[in-house]
Chains A and B, each alone.
Chain A
Amino acid sequence: DVKVTQSSRYLVKRTGEKVFLECVQDMDHENMFWYRQDPGLGLRLIYFSYDVKMKEKGDIPEGYSVSREKKERFSLILESASTNQTSMYLCASSQQGLANTGELFFGEGSRLTVL
């Protein structure tokens, strides 16, 4: 069964802390994504990676960075967490090129609360 696994389902952090959200996929997908989900705003793309060490800013990259050192792992980093980053974070992956049907495979999400 194909799988995207996010390391933490629930996190509570304090303002100013550094936060790491980890995502691993076992489908050998080239593309990986980090989205933020907020009520009434849908999914907003934070960052996209199309290959190891390659990344592209999404719609709302401010306050976030990412790391992709291995094909299967994509990390989202909040250098200094703020209360307005309290949200649900979703990781996704997809195939690339001609094999890309447009389907994204999502993890279960990481709900982050920043106090």
Chain B
Amino acid sequence: GNSVTQMEGPVTLSEEAFLTINCTYTATGYPSLFWYVQYPGEGLQLLLKATKADDKGSNKGFEATYRKETTSFHLEKGSVQVSDSAVYFCALRPIQGAQKLVFGQGTRLTINP
């Protein structure tokens, strides 16, 4: 079946630190991959996505590269800010045209000044 596994949280970093949140997936075929972010008190919103192998999604200084050989889509940011404190969810859409996403368990990130 289709599944997404994220690194265990919570993750606590100091401002300006380098961030990596690991995400690996299991899927048949060629899924699209997504990172969603949930800021405190808000719903989820799309952060970035990649639709095929070797694509890199980027937004707000965050990046993730679709690695088919390692079935991974790790989220990275070179220098985090306090405002990046949120819960991050990795997700996949199993095939082109599929209506539903499969989400990982979420990783809570706290950035200290």
Contacts and interface: CB of A to CB of B under 8 A. Distances in A.
A32 B97 CA distance: 15
Interface string B83-95: 0000001000100
Contact of A108 (B34, B43, B105): B43
B89 A4 contact: no
Interface stretch (A12-20, A35-43, A64-72, A76-84): A35-43
Interface residues of B, number: 22
Given A40-B105, A42-B89, A109-B43, A103 B99 contact: no
Nearest to A104: B101
A35 B106 CA distance: 14
A30 B89 CA distance: 24
A4 B93 contact: no
Contacts of A109: 42-43
B104 A42 contact: yes
B99 A31 contact: yes
A98 B99 CA distance: 11
A42 B105 contact: yes
Nearest to B44: A106
Q: Is the interface of B mostly helix, strand, loop or mixed?
A: loop
Given A40-B105, A48-B100, A50-B99, A102 B34 contact: yes
A114 interface: no
B99 A43 contact: no
Given A4-B43, A31-B99, A109-B43, 10 more contacts: A33-B100, A35-B103, A40-B105, A42-B105, A48-B99, A92-B44, A100-B99, A102-B49, A102-B93, A108-B41
Interface of A: 4, 31, 33, 35, 37, 40-43, 45, 48, 50, 58, 90, 92, 94, 96-98, 100-104, 106-109
24 contacts: A31-B99, A33-B100, A35-B103, A40-B105, A41-B105, A42-B89, A42-B105, A42-B106, A43-B89, A43-B103, A43-B106, A48-B100, A90-B43, A92-B44, A96-B99, A100-B99, A101-B49, A102-B93, A104-B36, A106-B43, A107-B43, A108-B42, A109-B42, A109-B43
